[in-house]
Structure 1
């Protein structure tokens, strides 16, 4: 047996204790030297939501204004388009209605039949532009002093159509009444006929040469048809 002095054993024990303490300190210093580096995931971030928008605008997914396929705003007052004879589309000019100042008026030849008197009332475009007429004209018989004779003509049933008039072209409406000599209605003899284009306030004055017209009685009704292209049947 080898004898080890007391001082030598004490020194060895001290060295071993220091080594153990150093190992414990290295393991518990809070630093993990073997920790894996952070992992970054790829992807697309969701867009931020604007909290200032109302719930309706944020969730509806629609715009307050309609748009064309190209994204251009559509004006509510954009002019309407109509089909052209060539199959394309043309834009109707705003305010294309014929005005009284652009028209001339005349009364065509009587075409009597079955006790009826039938006069075409003709409106002709005398302006330099193309314009339109649609519906019924207004008409009234007047005497030499401008007093109206009889009531306004009644409107015959019909389907109004838009009549496009190039410069010089005409549209007509039929004025019809029973022959007073056959109907026995009270008559008056006008000097003029006042003809008002559709949707206009001003009238055109046409000399009347068609003789007596019914102004009262059970068979005194005078009627008007819708406007049609041309100058008469």
Structure 2
């Protein structure tokens, strides 16, 4: 009978060796490093959002500086003061060195800011409205533009030599007509300060340019 035990033994040993080799290969693949690494995710560039602090233009196309300019423009004055926006008054006499000096005050009674510049017009009139004496002379002054907010005033000095000293011909006016600078319509103010010179020597009356306030 032929002996078959040796080939069978060799076959069993070969199978066992292959099984061991397979186990070793599997263990090597589990403990080794991967052949290719997993790619990392790429982050998108960040863009400023509505709360990032980036400046954005208004929908109407204006810039913040345009808006500020509009607000500033609305605060500016709106031209000169007109007669209808002013009240006139004559202050208390300030005598000195043979002179009689009166502050003629213009007050802004409107609800807007306006300006005055230069000399007011002035004329003494009687009860019928007829002018007494010549127009006042303009005293040397340096006029400036005065800004009058509502309720603020400017004044000019009205002066003449005391008639008792000068010997000038006099009259007692019923009113003083005050015309704001660059206006045509006067404001009538009752005159209660007595006689004024209207003719003869030393009869001139003078007026100064407007200054801020209600008097010296």
Q: Which TM-score band applies after superposition, normalised by the shorter structure?
A: 0.5 to 0.7
SS where residue 135 of structure 2 aligns? coil
| Shift in Å, 1:221 | 0.3
Match of 1:225 among 200, 208, 211: 208
Within-5 A mapping of 1:63-212: 93=76, 95-212=78-195
Q: CA RMSD in A?
A: 1.5
SS where residue 165 of structure 2 aligns? helix
| Shift in Å, 1:218 | 1.5
SS where residue 100 of structure 2 aligns? strand
Unaligned 5+ segments in structure 1 are 1-88
- The structure number with the bigger radius of gyration is 2
Partner of 2:29: none
- How many residue pairs were aligned? 145
| Shift in Å, 1:96 | 1.2
Q: RCO (CA 8 Å, sep 6+): is it higher in 1 or 2? A: 2
Query: 1:1-56 CA distances to partner (integer Å, 9 max, x unpaired)?
Result: xxxxxxxxxxxxxxxxxxxxxxxxxxxxxxxxxxxxxxxxxxxxxxxxxxxxxxxx
Within-5 A mapping of 1:40-51: none
1:145, 1:218 → 2: CA distance? 26
Q: Which runs of 4+ in 1 moved over 3 A?
A: 89-95
| Shift in Å, 1:168 | 0.4
2:162, 2:180 → 1: CA distance? 26
Partner of 1:49: none
TM-score by length of 2: 0.65
Contact 2:78 2:113 in 1 (8 A): no
TM-score by length of 1: 0.60
